[in-house]
A = this chain, B = another copy of it.
């Protein structure tokens, strides 16, 4: 028996590389760009960028803000680094210093760019096709001169429902994208899809795909078998194993009462580690012995650094054993579903865990 107290977050960078290569294969001749925004969905933008740059030849990276681009520049020295939120007064110096490429989402952003052009940078233009998030609306495209329209390296848009293969929005957005491209950007390279859109068919691929969630093991196209290998494993040690009596309460606000005697395991992981509090009384963790894998339900509220799980029927469980919170059998997609959200949000929070022992392999 070993006394242990710290969660472990294992990150399989080898599988990130493999996922990139798999999506690259699926994407035909389109350039495969890596989306490493939000610190690579929490996994570590510098580590991920360096691995993809050195081991997979990736030369196109997307992040949200200039500050994120600045952080990865040294890991991807001659790559294109695109900034999805565009260039603003709060990032312009970073663009200059780190040779970042803005995605220009609106006429106002374009005007700002015109006043602050950086030599050698050809921005991307983002056009709106149905998601109603960032992007130029057509009325604003009409304000650009013929000369303006030629200076972009890519025209891009983004799909709303690419995770559902037969969704009517996919074709509607594709047609709108093609119409706007033909009218305003006939000779400009184009990019429409993220990981989920890669499965929609060849005509969605254009010249570049933008791979985010698919790199990190999330099944972005849940109507088919996951094409991504799992990337993270979150484990946390059992701090104590104790008995509770019939009638005993567990956790804050006594939301659980034992209706019979139980054996509980107290585990060093909570919402501070990224385990959502919505899993109170409904989530589960897994234990593995040499011969079996068994489930232990979360009893009571998820605390900041601790959960309590039902191990009444567990055989051979010891203090110091690791509970699997997320692994290759209970995936980010599974825990996202159980928590009433998506694997993306789980990963983003788990990846920011400040006390996990983070092990890259």
Q: A interface vs B, CB < 8 Å? A: 1-6, 37-39, 41, 64-68, 83-91, 105-106, 108-109, 112, 128, 130-134, 137, 160-161, 163-164, 169, 237, 239-240, 242-244, 248-254, 264, 266, 268, 271-272, 276-278, 300, 303-306, 308, 319-320, 340-342, 344-345, 348-349, 352, 354-355, 357
Q: A106-B239, A253-B160, A305-B84 are in contact. Are A5 and B133 (CB under 8 A)?
A: no
- Report 11 cross-chain contacts, Cβ distance below 8 Å, ordered by A residue: A5-B91, A6-B67, A6-B91, A37-B305, A38-B304, A38-B355, A85-B239, A108-B319, A132-B249, A132-B250, A304-B348
Closest to A243 in B: B137
Oligomer copy total: 2
Asked if A169 and B305 make an inter-chain contact with CB atoms under 8 angstroms apart, the answer reads: no
Q: Which residues of B contact A264 (CB under 8 A)?
A: 132
Q: A254–B64 contact, CB under 8 A?
A: no
Residues of B within 8 Å of A276, CB to CB, are 345
Contact A130 B4 (CB under 8 A): no
Chain B residues with CB below 8 A from A64, complex form: 268, 272, 304-305, 355
Q: How far is the CA of A132 from the CA of B243 in the complex (A)?
A: 9
Please, which residues of chain B bring their CB within 8 A of the CB of A249?
A: 130-132, 160, 169
How far is B206's CA from A260's CA once the two chains are assembled, in angstroms?
Answer: 34
Extra inter-chain contacts (5) besides given A5-B83, A6-B67, CB under 8 Å: A85-B239, A88-B237, A88-B320, A108-B319, A352-B354
Residues of B within 8 A of A112 (CB): 3
Q: A213 — nearest CB in chain B belongs to which residue?
A: B304
Tell me, rounded to whole Å, the shortest Cβ–Cβ distance linking A318 to chain B.
Answer: 10
> Shortest CB–CB separation between residue A233 and chain B, in angstroms?
16
- In the complex the two chains form, what is the Cα distance from A3 to B352 in whole Å? 28
Chain B residues closer than 8 Å to A242, beta-carbon distance: 128, 132, 137
Question: What is the CA–CA distance of A85 and B319 in the complex, to the nearest angstrom?
Answer: 13
| Bound CA–CA A94/B243 (angstroms) | 31
A236 to B39, CA, bound (A): 18
Measured between beta carbons, the chain B residues less than 8 angstroms from A106 are 239-240, 319
Query: In the complex, what distance in Å separates the CA atom of A250 from the CA atom of B344?
Result: 19
